[in-house]
Amino acid sequence: MSRRSLGRPGLLSLLAGLAAVVAILPLAGVVAAALTGETAAIPARDIARYAATSGILALLVALATGALGSLAAWLVVMHRFPGRDIFAWALALPLAAPAFAVAYAYADLFDVAGDLRMWMRAALGFDLPFEMRTIPGAAFVLTCAFYPYVYLAMRAAFVNQSAHALEAARALGCTPAQAFLRVAMPLARPALAAGVALAVMETLADYGAVQFLSVQTLTTGVVRAWFVFGSLTSAAQFALPLLGAAALLLWIERWGRGGRGYESANARWRPLPVTTLSRPAGVAAGVFCMALITLGLLLPAAWLVIAFLPVSPDWPRLIEAGAHSLTLATAGAVVTVALATALALGAARVPHLARLASLGYATPGAVMAIGLLVPAALVWRLAPGAAQGFGAGLIMLIYAYAARLMAAALEPIDAGLSRVTPSMVQAARSLGRSPAGAAWSVQLPIARGALLTAGLVVFIDILKELPATLILRPFNFDTLAVIADNYARDERLAQAGWPALLIVLIALPAVIWLTRKIAASRPGDSA
């Protein structure tokens, strides 16, 4: 959408600037806390060790999600096999499962002293050659949880590729595999960079899974520094490398987008050349897709069900926590979408601030929480008691959600607003509407589907958010994620299964709606 039609700077510019400041303020707080304050209680070598672990874990997840997500997307877009239409949207369903729930299931399933491995040693005479509570084990869990980010990005890229380019490759003698490697993948490089960047962002931001698997990353260091040592400076120093990684990932994603523009606009919506796989190949493709869904959602969920069925849940506590989760997710989604909409409408007038605001999504929730403690402490010093209390805690928590997830909401909103032509806005202006009035009466109604999509994306992310909630929540204000983490810390996985599965059940309808919408065939496609 061209935003030249929005008129001179005014209310929209002010709102966009305010939204950008909301996202940037916690990041500035982290830097300020790291450079000032008391001497850090944790040696620098520990920060380096935690950073190395985060880097290795991120690299493993990037390689695995990039390969699996790209292959799955290529199969469902370019090939016809049994179950293809179902797999097209079902492959994204693991987004409904929090990574920590997947970690609980696999840690229990493959525990050295667990029923499965004890049976294997007794009945088969051998044991599995790996341990889940290691960096490779954490990489496996996070890959199962985060490959949908790459899959969705690559599927969209393949669906929108030029049919002419692929047909030319086949006419020149390329096999389907060669066309994939030489034509489709280079054209999809921006989407691959964006999808892998998202998976790595989520890996760096994860706390529940890596903490449970005893893998010490920078995010666990942030939480540990605050809860164990009570040192805001130490927590901020752990957070600084994460901020640097966030900036790098954002640059990679922007660099990837710069590779767009290879395709012919005239051929964009021609039906893609879909290959019908032979029976053995079709079965193999179906098995591969089903394996991804099983590993990412079905197996962990089934194992947790088996584990928690003999356990009587604490229903009053679960219902209260569920209400807290729904309240925070709904309020956070509303606030985040409102701020992202303001930023989308006025970003052309504050481009630098808008780009900085995108750092939020690449920043872990724990870092956002630590960043907000700095201005909160300043407010408390100026007005003792003002930044304390139940209400202040909820406001800070919703603020942290909005600051981190604003960029996640911004992309679908931008896509929805791009449907508004400059002539529509000019027509509203010619009838006496102000830029803000034109946005309210013309742009937002047309983009309401995109606003709903953005709201659901944020809603799902907040349901699964753990570190920011742990740090900022008011006393005795537990969410389902917090309860699951508390049980897991005590190795009470059966009890942890109930809140973890409730999160899945709440998030699953929204994920199904989103994935079916995203997986809709492109215009002009008869497949």
What is the spatial distance between Cα 30 and Cα 33, in angstroms, rounded to a whole number? 5
**Which of 486, 367, 467, 354 lies closest to 413 in space, CA to CA?**
354
| Residue 140 pLDDT > 60 | yes
**pLDDT at residue 115, as a whole number:** 72
For residue 417, give both structure tokens.
Answer: 């607003």
Highest-confidence segment of 24-38, 89-103, 118-132:
89-103
How much is the pLDDT for 146?
Answer: 94
**Higher per-residue pLDDT: 426 or 227:** 227
- For the ranges 112-116, 203-207, 240-244, 371-375, the maximum mean pLDDT occurs at 203-207
| Domain-located, residue 5 | no
- The single-letter code of the amino acid at 352 is H
Higher pLDDT, 193 or 61: 61
CA distances from 93 to 80, 503, 504, 505 (A): 21, 13, 10, 11
Is a pLDDT exceeding 90 seen at residue 147? Answer: yes
Average pLDDT of the segment spanning 466-489: 87
17 belongs to a structural domain: yes
Residues 6+ apart with CB under 8 A from 96: 297, 460, 504, 507, 508, 510, 511
The whole-number average pLDDT for the span 159-185 is 68
Is residue 89 domain-resident?
yes
Tell me the per-residue pLDDT of 399-417, one tens digit each, with 9 for 90 and over.
Answer: 888 888 887 887 777 777 7
Distance CA 287, CA 72 (A): 11
Q: Does 149 have pLDDT greater than 80? A: yes
Rounded to whole angstroms, how far apart are CA atoms 333 and 402? Answer: 8
Q: Rounded mean pLDDT of 42-48?
A: 77
* Better-predicted residue by pLDDT, 486 or 294: 294
66 C-beta neighbours (distance < 10 Å), count: 20
* Residue 506 placed within a domain: yes
In a domain, 253, yes or no: yes
Residue 210's domain spans which residues?
11-34+42-518
* Confidence at residue 292, expressed as pLDDT on a 0 to 100 scale: 96
> How confident is the model at residue 263, as a pLDDT?
45
Encoded amino acid at 468, one letter: A
Other C-beta atoms closer than 10 Å to the C-beta of 485 total: 26
Q: Cα-flanking dihedrals φ and ψ of residue 464, to 5°?
A: -95, -10
Question: What confidence score (pLDDT) does residue 299 get?
Answer: 93
Query: What average pLDDT does range 254-283 have in this prediction?
Result: 65
Query: Residue 1: its pLDDT value, please?
Result: 40
pLDDT at residue 526, rounded to an integer: 43
Structure tokens at 6: 């929005």
Higher-scoring residue by pLDDT: 135, 176: 135
Nearest alpha carbon to residue 157 among 198, 185, 177: 185
pLDDT score recorded for residue 30: 81
pTM for the full model? 0.84
For 403, the 3-state DSSP assignment is: helix
What tokens does 381 get?
Answer: 């010093």
Give the pLDDT confidence score for residue 266 in this predicted structure.
44
With pLDDT > 70 as the criterion, what percentage of the chain qualifies?
Answer: 78
Q: Which helix or strand (DSSP H or E) is residue 79 part of?
A: strand 79-80
Helix axis angle, 44-78 to 189-205, nearest 10°:
140
Q: What's the confidence (pLDDT) of residue 4?
A: 41
User: Dihedral through CA 239, CA 457, CA 68, CA 518, nearest 10?
Assistant: -150
- Rg, the chain, Cα only: 24
Domain membership flag for residue 171: yes
Mean pLDDT of 447-453: 78
DSSP string for residues in 6-51:
G-SSSHHHHHHHHHHHHHHHHHHHHHHHHHSSSPPSS-HHHHHHHH
Percent of the chain topping pLDDT 90: 23
Tens digits of residue pLDDT in 272-317: 667 888 889 999 999 999 999 999 999 999 988 887 778 888 889 8
- Find the mean pLDDT for residues 128-155: 90
Domain with 383 in it: what CATH number? 1.10.3720.10
What tokens appear for 386 in the block? 């003002």
Which amino acid type is present at position 472? L
Mean pLDDT of the chain: 80
Give how many domains the chain has, as a whole number. Answer: 1
Place of tokens 């909401």: 409
Under 8 Å CB-to-CB from 27, ≥6 apart: which residues? 243, 356, 359, 360, 363, 367, 371
- pLDDT at residue 249 greater than cutoff 80: no
Give the helix/strand (H/E) hosting 276: strand 275-276
pLDDT digits (tens, 9 = 90+) for 470-479: 888 887 889 9
> What does the pLDDT look like over 3-39, one tens digit per residue?
444 344 467 677 777 777 777 888 888 887 777 755 5
- Pairwise CA distance, residues 444 & 450, whole Å: 9
Burial classification of residue 6, based on how many CB atoms lie within 10 Å of its CB (0-12 exposed, 13-18 middle, 19 or more buried): buried
The reported pLDDT for the residue numbered 452 is 84
The CA distance from 315 to 319, in Å, is: 6
Q: Output the pLDDT for position 87.
A: 93
Tell me if 524 is assigned to some domain.
Answer: no
79-80 and 275-276 beta bridge pairing: parallel
Max mean pLDDT range (121-130, 264-273, 274-283): 274-283
Section 414-428 average pLDDT: 71
Residue 241 lies in a domain: yes
Name residue 276's beta-bridge partners: 80
